Structure 1
Amino acid sequence: MVLLFPFIKTIDVDHYNVFFKTLIYVIHVLYCFLVNTVFAFINNFTPRKCVPKIKNALLLKSATDCASLIRKGELTSFDLVSAYIERQKEVHPLINAVAYDNYEYALRKAAKIDNYLAQLDRHSSEFENLSTTKPFLGIPFTVKSSICVKNCKAIAGIVCRMNLEPCTQEHDGITNLKEAGAIPLSFTNVPTMCLWVESHNYVSGRTSNPYDIRRTCGGSSGGEGSVIGAGGSLFGIGSDLGGSIRIPASLCGVFGFKCSPNALPDNFHIPDGGKDLRHMAHLGPLARYATDLKEVTKFYCNDEQRKNLRLDEPTNMQELKYFYIDDISYLDAEPIANECRAVVHDVANELSKTNVTTQVKIDEFKYSCDFWFAQYQKAVDSKFDGLNGYLNNFDPNEALSVPYEMVKNILGFKTDFDLGALSLSFDIKHVKSFNEKYLNLYLEKFEAFRTKLIKMLSNDGVLILPAWPTAAPFHRELLFNRANLSYTAVFNALGFPVISCPIALNKNGLPLNVQIVAVPNNDKILFDVAIEIEKIFGGWKEAI
């Protein structure tokens, strides 16, 4: 839509006659088909390659199982950490998911944990309470390289941050996981300033999909999705402003959780949009296993958030009502692939065996992308230039011209900034910036849309829809089909909790996920639904 009709707004198309509506849609479909065909043709000359199969059976155990084995003395943390270091080193030349490692610290910490457990009296209350006080004792995990961890750098794919001193402050969620016994193992790749849906920057390079290295892992938490999908991590922490947890989770076949506003810690992230973006920007976990996703979330948050999430309360699964949408494609998203539509129906059909399941059509989803831009503009407005300040460390003598850097990038001149991040920055500031009339129109429609969804789902409803309109695209393809954000970004605008769940691999060995959605502050039911879906469809699957 942005490339084809940059100044046509979806809301205006409603007033066109049938001929022009049809013409615009046909051009849109043909354009997407052309892009897909060209990229498929170009990449056809390079054979598909995926990460090697996991040889160490230890890497196939869940985090909760490994933690239990460590507490029992049947597994050492040192052996587990060593196994994950070995796996990360094995897959790194293929996927380039780790921006920089923390291996020496992790091994020292693991050895200390093993020594502590060896000396701990197994009849003491301290030992008996370990499963609740330190449930992830000795378990390694990964962290998105834009999240602040004490004594480590938060580079966020920005060249001028490479020489900054390590962080002196730490994201609360990381502190909570450390207190639960978990060990930060490595820091994963992101796009420049986390501002794109592919993970490429001029600090660490490009991250690839573990199921086909010709394809993208998504972004901006792309390194997390890639390394977890490759079996190089059990779980990790990412961030999500428009789908940045769920897109990599979906393209790499793992679970990813975007929470309700204020449900999880959200401080010390680069960039920081401030309190004005708190209702849209969230940090949270990705995991290979649904049970781990729930347990990690429980100990990632603080005591008050844990109480509000109510994750230990049972969910009456028989009383849940399911609604599903198999397509929200319009001018702001690629036409949905049949296989992505099919997995939504597969999930709905399985759940309909025990629950009421209803297919719905909600016309307002066609405005999804514009709803996000409107909410973003309302929250940030002129302050977006402040976010761009991260690209030059807020140096007033190094003013950044986004259009100039875009031209340099396109013409092949040296630049420190990825074209995807620059183009999205340009879109937000110029192409998708609404005047007061359009902003108010979208905000009015948005409030009616939000009210409609809350009424439909209530406290016992779950919405199922595609996680993405296609399987993982080829590298750089999203520069031309960027508006696929429609499937994810709308839920950041709405403030609805979402989990992306892996369902199957397609005929090309690529993951297909669905999203499950609930009303705000009803996050808890999604974890139990995700666990049920994992039982039915098998969850994460190794690359083949």
Structure 2
Amino acid sequence: MSSWQTLVADKKKRQQESIPQEWIVSPPPDDVLNVTGFPGQSGLLSAKELQITNEVDVQVLLQKLASGEWSSVEVTTAFYKRAILAQQVTNCVTEIFVERALKRASELDAHLREKRTVVGPLHGLPISLKDQLCVEGLETTIGYVSLIGNYAKKNAVLVDILLEAGAVPFVRTNVPQTLMWGETFNNVFGRTTNPYNRTLTCGGSSGGEGALIALKGSPLGVGSDIGGSIRIPASFCGIYGMRPSYHRVPYEGALNTLQGEDSVPSVFGPLSNSISGIKAFMKAVIDLEPWKKDPLAVRKHWDHEAYQLSEHGEGKCLCFGIMWDDGNIVPHPPVLRGLTMIKDALVNAGHIVKDWKPINHKEMNDTAVAIWGAAAREDFRMTTLSTEEPIIATMLPESNAFSEAAVDTRYPQEGISSYQLWQLHKRKIELRKEYLDHWEKTAQDTGTGRPVDAIIAPVAPYVAPPHGKNRPAGYTRVYNLLDYPVIILPVSQVDQELDVKVPPHEYLNDADREFHQWYDPALVRDAPITLQLIGRTLDEEALVALAEIVDAALRSQYTGDVKACNLHDSLPTTGHEAL
């Protein structure tokens, strides 16, 4: 073996040894694609542990922990065991530190018994962390062999804040090498798969979080998002996720790729199986005033008035824009059915839904990629220099990712001048201004006297695709450039009868043709369907409240049958009112 492979073998051995041997069971064979039922069928979890981990409402978990009905030790143990089960079928976890987490949980239980009060708003709750968030004494590799042995000397600021809030960090989760992929594969830990169908990608770069939480191996996790890295895995794995605005959640002390690029920066945000988990995380972090610990964190307290939707008619008769496609790639049938379902649910709940016209989406995507590409390849080369590990060029499993034929074409070979980069920054600001004006002008057409309250859009032109096929991120990346907060909402699952392939449309470009042609409902069997809800910059509180309204409308409309919608019932026509 080469020197880098020796490092990997040692790291994998140490990872395996960190798992309690009594938690290792026989996983289902590889030809069992949907493994979402495996934790309950494994025999490892007791009846109470199943009850604890099947409780998806984070607020209920927090209430039971605060009252002492469930101890932090038993909740942490239950989720830890389920996380290890998730690891055995999807390879989603990187760092495992059982004794440390249970010691923390025991201390929290003792505090509650003795002081009769909680430590903070997240008291006793196990929280998973993307493998960027440094935890004192643990290695942080972000998928690079070259960073094996990189032990943190102190916690990232966000980890300290979560500890102050009473949380129990208990695992770290897998990422792609470089963090700049919409899938999850690296030379250290390998590939993470989708628990709904293991032939499909879990997304990336927070793919480990997506797979873990979908299997209920964590009630609440932290991911990061620079071009869709929270939203893509949340979508492909059928859970809730939030991309906050720049610097609303502290990043100080975390490890990252492209460090120093601050024009379209990465942000941390939550993933969960409930919208209550999204709110609990955001409010807890903001209430602990991260701007006192991170010089870039925005000094903005939790805005209760905004959460009450004071600028959105108090939540009555809202107007949503719905974007059926971005003008570049037309979505597949399951995605269009999801849009139809959410539109029907909102209209039936008394809200207004109008078609949203996207503007400049291709240029916004191209601008963001050009900004990152100014020095991306040099960044990757410098990071891998010490071990000479190969830089991964493709996520396709059947390809040799390191062969000369497998060329990574996402970024240019050479960088650009400072002046050229400044022009990209300038154009980015102009594009943001154009989109702001576009949004503001909708006040003339909504019928509420206000601009559109939020936009509903696909997360991708497809549900979770086979490994290696998640190439365009155009539906998510634009909102990183615009700095709009976004929440992912689960809607349904692929249905073999409803989501049949439709005849070819007038293709918008070669990529549109390619992605239309490979679609087959059997190929994406059981994949979740989700959508994005997009708000305005630094208006996270209002977006959370709007997401609660949309989520409630969906659940009310489709209780008992979330698939009960025919795609062709209400697709957009020229007669639709458009913004």
State if a TM-score over 0.5 links the two structures.
Answer: yes
For 2:543 and 2:549, locate their aligned partners in 1 and report how far apart those are by CA, in whole Å. 10
Change (3 A) 1:537 1:60: farther
C-alpha distance after superposition, 1:90-144 (max 9, x if no partner): 2222111111212121111112222222223x4xxxx2xx3xx511111111000
Read off the aligned partner of 2:410 and give its amino acid letter: D
Change (3 A) 1:180 1:436: closer
The aligned counterpart of 2:191 is: 206
Structure 2 residue 51 is matched with structure 1 residue 57: yes
For 1:493 and 1:446, locate their aligned partners in 2 and report how far apart those are by CA, in whole Å. 8
Which aligned pairs between 1:87-236 and structure 2 lie closer than 5 A?
87-120=82-115, 122=116, 127=117, 130=118, 134-164=120-150, 166-236=151-221
Checking the alignment, whether the CA contact within 8 Å between 1:190 and 1:222 is kept in structure 2 is yes
Read off the aligned partner of 1:427 and give its amino acid letter: R
SS in 2 for 1:187: strand
Change (3 A) 1:475 1:79: same
Which aligned pairs between 1:233-252 and structure 2 lie closer than 5 A?
233-252=218-237
The aligned counterpart of 1:358 is: 353
For 1:306 and 1:298, locate their aligned partners in 2 and report how far apart those are by CA, in whole Å. 14
Read off the aligned partner of 1:377 and give its amino acid letter: A
Select the structure with the greater relative contact order (CA < 8 A; seq sep ≥ 6): 1
Checking the alignment, whether the CA contact within 8 Å between 2:200 and 2:467 is kept in structure 1 is yes
Read off the aligned partner of 1:358 and give its amino acid letter: V
For 1:492 and 1:134, locate their aligned partners in 2 and report how far apart those are by CA, in whole Å. 31
Aligned residues: 467
Read off the aligned partner of 1:138 and give its amino acid letter: G
For 2:468 and 2:272, locate their aligned partners in 1 and report how far apart those are by CA, in whole Å. 26
The aligned counterpart of 1:429 is: 412
1:372 to 365, 375, 379: 365
Change (3 A) 1:142 1:445: closer
Which aligned pairs between 1:289-304 and structure 2 lie closer than 5 A?
289-301=274-286, 302-303=288-289
For 1:447 and 1:430, locate their aligned partners in 2 and report how far apart those are by CA, in whole Å. 31
Change (3 A) 1:448 1:70: closer
Checking the alignment, whether the CA contact within 8 Å between 2:485 and 2:539 is kept in structure 1 is yes
Which aligned pairs between 1:377-526 and structure 2 lie closer than 5 A?
377-378=370-371, 382-385=374-377, 387-389=379-381, 391-392=383-384, 395=386, 412=400, 423=408, 426-430=409-413, 443=428, 447-456=433-442, 461-478=453-470, 482-483=471-472, 485-507=473-495, 508-526=525-543
For 1:324 and 1:414, locate their aligned partners in 2 and report how far apart those are by CA, in whole Å. 41
Checking the alignment, whether the CA contact within 8 Å between 2:264 and 2:368 is kept in structure 1 is no
Read off the aligned partner of 1:114 and give its amino acid letter: D
Checking the alignment, whether the CA contact within 8 Å between 1:258 and 1:282 is kept in structure 2 is yes
C-alpha distance after superposition, 1:219-238 (max 9, x if no partner): 00000011001110011111
Q: CA deviation at 1:157?
A: 0.6
Which aligned pairs between 1:283-362 and structure 2 lie closer than 5 A?
283-301=268-286, 302-303=288-289, 305=298, 307-311=300-304, 313-315=307-309, 316-318=314-316, 320-330=318-328, 333=329, 335-362=330-357
For 2:482 and 2:378, locate their aligned partners in 1 and report how far apart those are by CA, in whole Å. 24
For 2:37 and 2:212, locate their aligned partners in 1 and report how far apart those are by CA, in whole Å. 13
In terms of mean alpha carbon deviation, does 492-501 or 109-118 score higher? 109-118
Read off the aligned partner of 1:283 and give its amino acid letter: F
In terms of mean alpha carbon deviation, does 259-268 or 105-114 score higher? 259-268
Checking the alignment, whether the CA contact within 8 Å between 2:135 and 2:155 is kept in structure 1 is yes
Checking the alignment, whether the CA contact within 8 Å between 1:200 and 1:207 is kept in structure 2 is yes
Which aligned pairs between 1:17-28 and structure 2 lie closer than 5 A?
none
Read off the aligned partner of 1:157 and give its amino acid letter: G
Q: CA deviation at 1:51?
A: 2.7
Read off the aligned partner of 1:284 and give its amino acid letter: G
CA RMSD of aligned residues (A): 3.5
Checking the alignment, whether the CA contact within 8 Å between 1:193 and 1:270 is kept in structure 2 is no
Structure 2 residue 275 is matched with structure 1 residue 282: no
Read off the aligned partner of 1:225 and give its amino acid letter: G
Query: Which blocks of at least 5 consecutive residues in structure 2 are unaligned?
Result: 1-29, 41-49, 292-297, 444-449, 496-524, 561-579
Q: CA deviation at 1:431?
A: 10
Query: Which blocks of at least 5 consecutive residues in structure 1 are unaligned?
Result: 1-44
Q: CA deviation at 1:81?
A: 0.8
For 2:265 and 2:426, locate their aligned partners in 1 and report how far apart those are by CA, in whole Å. 20
Checking the alignment, whether the CA contact within 8 Å between 2:463 and 2:529 is kept in structure 1 is yes
For 1:401 and 1:106, locate their aligned partners in 2 and report how far apart those are by CA, in whole Å. 34
Change (3 A) 1:440 1:536: closer
For 2:468 and 2:262, locate their aligned partners in 1 and report how far apart those are by CA, in whole Å. 28
Change (3 A) 1:149 1:538: farther
Identity %: 23
Q: CA deviation at 1:433?
A: 7.9
Q: CA deviation at 1:467?
A: 1.5
